[in-house]
Every structure is written in structure tokens, then in C-alpha cells.
Amino acid sequence: QVQLVESGGGSVQAGGSLRLSCVASAYTSSRRCVGWFRQAPGKEREGVANMYTRNGTVIYTDSVKGRFTLSISEDIPEKPVYLQMNSLKPEDTAMYYCAAGYTPASCTGRPGDYNYRGQGTQVTVSS
């Protein structure tokens, strides 16, 4: 079992930045993909970014391209996963979840396919 813990959420004004962090309890070297997804009140979960760890390719949803960056810190043993969010907009307001996949089927980028996900961290952007 893998536990994921997110941090870094908060409240910012439009145009501001936040960096979300995610730390896994174990098995970081064997994960095939890591990602972030979000869910706003009354809306379905939405994949934000997904990285295929074997080649470093990152896929972003169109609405965050050029503003969000997913990265992994390989020089820290825990290999934390980050989501740098710049130029935030009110429509980015949501609960953000970190996720990890260990099989090919879990790495589609769809929120429900990941093997593990965290409890979420709230991001609120005011206009």
C-alpha cells in the first residue's frame, strides 16, 4: 500500500502562484506515472497533468498548458512530485489530488485509473 500526502494548497488572488507538493510513503522507483487531478464543487474530476516516469513525458490538460508544470525531484530520496501553478485563474479553484500509477492500465491520465491517490489539498483563487 502506498500513501500519498499533498501540501502547498491555499488561497491566492488571480494571477498568483502556488506550488503543490506530494510525497509518497514507498515504492517511488517503481511507479510508471505520477499525476495531479482536481475536482471543483459540483463538477467531475479532471486530469490536470500526468508524467510517464520512464521517459519524462508530461501531458497537460489544455486549460493549464503554459501555466502549470509537473516535476519530480530525483535528488531527494522521497522523490517528491511538484505542481508549479502560475497565472492562476478563479476557474482553477478546486481540490487538487496527487496520484500514482504502477501498471500501464493505470497511466491513462484519467483520475479514476491511478492505483493510488492522496487526500487532496484545496486551492482557492479569488478574482
Nearest to 48 by CA among 33, 21, 69: 69
pLDDT in tens, 42-65: 999 999 999 999 999 999 999 999
Biggest CA–CA distance in the chain, Å, is: 41
CA–CA separation, 103 and 120 (whole Å): 22
pLDDT in tens, 6-17: 999 999 999 999
Q: Which cell is 2 given?
A: 502506498
Q: Which cell is 94 given?
A: 478546486
Average pLDDT of the chain to the nearest whole number: 96
Bridge partners of 70?
Answer: 83
Nearest to 114 by CA among 50, 21, 64: 50
